Structure 1
């Protein structure tokens, strides 16, 4: 029954993610979950760990702040309106309350006095430093710092065919313990179903920016490519990597450098590429086992669409 409950709440979360900028009613979400409107809210809070309103508010403001950083051609008022806020003033108040900084301070960390650090909504207990969010500050020289065998990292555009995948979500966000737990279960499942370890094509869907979202709230899903006839049963799920063009960046380094490598695509490559990110999460394709080798070797994928 717990698996059935989780599946129904996952439908609600997916709906919220696709409509987070629009007004969403509790009755509407209860109907999607097929739970009684009288009990839906308690079930959602129990499984997700946040109230419905808190979840929607957090996701709306997190996405808005990412727009502030990566869509610098938009004014703060435009970001506010595109993010579902009624005005630039209301948006500024909400951002200041949640992050401890105004939208203009987040966009221009050099102008912040006294190098203060805010705290994201006290209940999450996450320190927030705009300098770590703003990619121009993080990625100055990143292409030189993260050399692979003496060569600078290069982004290439690849055409991918659709891939059917078996997935398992981390129950603790980006916390390494929970990521490895999900991978151990998924790798064992694949091996038991005839996909040898060396033959496994391993991807991860990284939905959230850990510079903005509390680590345990970041959504991370492990995925292994499977054939069309492979049967997939709970707790595993079936999904698909869609066909299309992807920006692909090869990376080899420490876990701490991973975020900088990801952001380098958005800040150093995308603005002059003729593309923008499509509505699909960032992916990582793992080449090695970091626990064995002590470093991460992977390719970072961003699905593209033409501007």
Structure 2
């Protein structure tokens, strides 16, 4: 492998390590010096290297992850708004409201009252049956809450970008092996995955997932990732019984169609893919 590619791969791995360190400490965020040490960069150069490879600053990563966690708390708990604001890093509810509205296009109180922004009455009318061709995926495993898989995707993306694998044809998938309501979060199994050419060398800890051609029910969901589970409930509870279809013995997948760092959560697009038995 050329020296330049080796160096870029090494830098990407180190920045991904810093991102994971930050994501695991949202309540007590590490200083820039601590992040630089985790990434084995000089503090004088870490911030520029992070921004170049992550596409955002550490402060922006922290704010984005905290607001995503706040959205999940609004949907999945009855925690007081003041506590959610404080845990998101804001000294007051008005400051949190301004930031949340800027990110999600709706104030947090209205977001909670509406149970999110992505679920629409006619959503199931947009389910279609598609043929997913066989795909070859480089994957990183994740154990734990599906809401916490974001840093794993960040590591995978940094690895792929360093190897020139993030071109226009690259596709990003999540593979979800369990029902998150059926077991404790710590036991949930998933993979963050990207399409790669066969024969691509992997780093330690990575896996190849080769899926066969599949017939799938596809539901295109627009909105924050923390709302997707409610779309699953409707897909299984309403669409599937009325469809006459049977799920195949393959895990659920999600394909992520745009970059969450570049767009507000209201514009994130995800294809929810339910493998089906052949007709």
TM range (shorter): 0.5 to 0.7
Match of 1:38 in 2: none
Q: 1:46-69 deviations in whole A, cap 9, x for unaligned?
A: xxxxxxxxxxxxxxxxxxxxxxxx
| Partner secondary structure for residue 276 of structure 1 | coil
1:181 Cα deviation from its structure 2 partner: 1.8
Match of 1:297 in 2: 269
- Please give the TM-score of this superposition, normalised by the length of structure 2: 0.52
1:289 Cα deviation from its structure 2 partner: 3.1
1:175 Cα deviation from its structure 2 partner: 4.2
Query: Higher relative contact order by CA 8 Å / sep ≥ 6: 1 or 2?
Result: 2
Q: 1:48-102 deviations in whole A, cap 9, x for unaligned?
A: xxxxxxxxxxxxxxxxxxxxxxxxxxxxxxxxxxxxxxxxxxxxxxxxxxxxxxx
1:151 Cα deviation from its structure 2 partner: 7.1
Whether the aligned pair in 2 keeps the contact of 1:153 and 1:249 (CA below 8 Å) is: no
Match of 1:146 in 2: 119
Pick from 268, 275, 296 the counterpart of residue 238 of structure 2: 268
Pick from 165, 177, 184 the counterpart of residue 154 of structure 2: 184
Distance in 2 separating the partners of 1:287 and 1:153: 20
Match of 1:119 in 2: none
Whether the aligned pair in 2 keeps the contact of 1:174 and 1:218 (CA below 8 Å) is: yes
Unaligned runs of 5+ in 2: 1-114
Pick from 107, 124, 139 the counterpart of residue 167 of structure 1: 139
Pick from 218, 222, 238 the counterpart of residue 208 of structure 2: 238
Match of 2:220 in 1: 250
| Partner secondary structure for residue 277 of structure 1 | coil
1:145 Cα deviation from its structure 2 partner: 7.3
Distance in 2 separating the partners of 1:195 and 1:303: 26
> Root-mean-square deviation (CA), in Å?
2.7
Whether the aligned pair in 2 keeps the contact of 1:187 and 1:197 (CA below 8 Å) is: no
In structure 2, do the counterparts of structure 1 residues 260 and 151 end up closer, same or farther at CA, with 3 Å as the change threshold? closer
Q: 1:188-226 deviations in whole A, cap 9, x for unaligned?
A: 111122212654300001111222222232112101011
| Partner secondary structure for residue 271 of structure 2 | strand
Whether the aligned pair in 2 keeps the contact of 1:203 and 1:286 (CA below 8 Å) is: yes
Whether the aligned pair in 1 keeps the contact of 2:124 and 2:235 (CA below 8 Å) is: no
- Please give the TM-score of this superposition, normalised by the length of structure 1: 0.48
